[in-house]
Amino acid sequence: MEKIIASTSHSFLPVYLILLFLISCNQQENQKNNEPSERTKSISSTDDIDLNLPAMYTGTLPCADCPGINYQLILEDDGFTELSQYRDRSPAKFEETGSWSANKDTLTLVGQEDLILKRFLFHKDSLTLLDRNNQKINGDLADMYVLERVGNQESIRKHHQKLSEQGFIFFAAGNEPFWSIKIDSLNLMTYEKPGSTRNLGEVSRSMIENGILFETSADSIQLSIRVQDKYCRDSMSGYLFPETVTAVMQSSQVDTLRGCGLFLEN
């Protein structure tokens, strides 16, 4: 009798294991089916993240065959703009736009066809780029995956918008020494430095390699401004401008001024 019972219990054991395996697979399949795919997942809740839009984040991301990628992310209520430029490789700027979503401490960028482009770990004043498995990237280059929020970017953008509304088409500025140049829709240039504003008259414009050259002369001053299509980060605010500017002023001496600029939208 004991042999019969033992034999019966052994015969039921494989059947029990098979049923357990089938139940487990079915649960995993249901869970997989209930999860949205990488191409369609979109989370609209931002209750856990205080973005205080609009917001701008900048940094230099690692690059396999160049010193780094100048990267700027602008977040607004209706979407994002992503700007990238490869250092020492090409002055070309790459732009990507789309929508974004947030859940708890994770920010997701969604491009065309609902394709997820990037995910970031959100902090109060920074974003950390995550890998494909939504994990932080460690190693010697870990700090390069952190983007810093530009604190006064909103006031800078409002200043540029105000200049555009006043009829200016180009603006450039630099630090130490502090200077700025504005060109209006009539091609008239204004040069400013602390305590001084000078109208330098009409400027000529010519195309050069990777940019534009503005030139003017007035009151024994000759000024040439080389505008290159290359990202430039303001040394004080951290704001990322689309153009790099070199101004050479000749009067009793020659002064070379370096800074950043942009063409204003009207």
pLDDT of the residue at 221: 84
Q: Please state, in angstroms and rounded to a whole number, the distance separating the CA atoms of residues 231 and 210.
A: 12
Residue 66 is which amino acid? C
pLDDT of residue 264: 93
Answer yes or no: are the C-beta atoms of 109 and 101 closer than 8 Å.
no
Structure tokens, 95: 């732009």
Rounded (5°) CA angle 94-97-101: 135
Q: What is the pLDDT of residues 27-41, one digit of tens each?
A: 554 444 444 333 333
Of the listed ranges 114-118, 129-133, 154-158, the least confidently predicted one is 154-158
Sign of the torsion formed by the C-alpha atoms of 63, 156, 234 and 258: positive
Q: Where are the alpha helices (DSSP H) in the chain?
A: 2-34, 153-165
Q: What is the pLDDT, as a whole number, of residue 8?
A: 41
**Confidence band for 171, pLDDT divided at 50, 70 and 90:** very high
- Between 107 and 229, name the one with better pLDDT: 107
pLDDT of 237: 81
- Asked whether the predicted pLDDT for residue 204 surpasses 60, the reply is yes
pLDDT value for 94: 87
For 28, residues 6+ apart whose C-beta sits below 8 A from its C-beta are: none
The pLDDT of residue 42 is 37
* Mean per-residue pLDDT, 167-172: 96
pLDDT band, very low/low/confident/very high, at 17 (cuts 50, 70, 90) = very low
71 pLDDT more than 60? yes
Average pLDDT of the segment spanning 3-27: 46
**Tokens in use for 134?**
């939504």
H or E stretch covering 213: strand 211-218
Average pLDDT taken over every residue of the chain:
81
pTM of the model: 0.56
For residues 237 and 150, the answer to whether their CB atoms sit within 8 Å is: yes
The tokens describing 195, both together, are 């305590």
What's the average model confidence in pLDDT over 156-182?
93
- For residue 107, the cross-strand partners are 102, 120
Q: What is the rounded average pLDDT of the residues 226-235?
A: 87
CB 167 within 8 A of CB 181: no
- Measured CA to CA, the distance from residue 167 to residue 161 in angstroms comes to 10
Residue 226 has pLDDT above 90, yes or no: yes
At 24, the pLDDT band (50, 70, 90 cuts) reads: low
Residues 55, 260, 92, 188, CA torsion sign: positive
Angle, vertex CA 163, rays to CA 95 and CA 192, nearest 5: 110
Q: What percent of the chain has pLDDT over 90?
A: 45
Distance CA 45, CA 38 (A): 17
pLDDT at position 48: 57
> 9 pLDDT exceeds 90?
no
Q: What is the identity of the amino acid at 219? A: D
User: How far is residue 251 from each of residues 55, 154, 187, 197, 239, measured CA to CA in Å?
Assistant: 42, 37, 22, 16, 31
pLDDT (mean) for 111-128: 91
2 contact partners, CB below 8 Å, separation of at least 6: none
Lowest mean pLDDT among 7-21, 44-58, 176-190, 247-261: 7-21
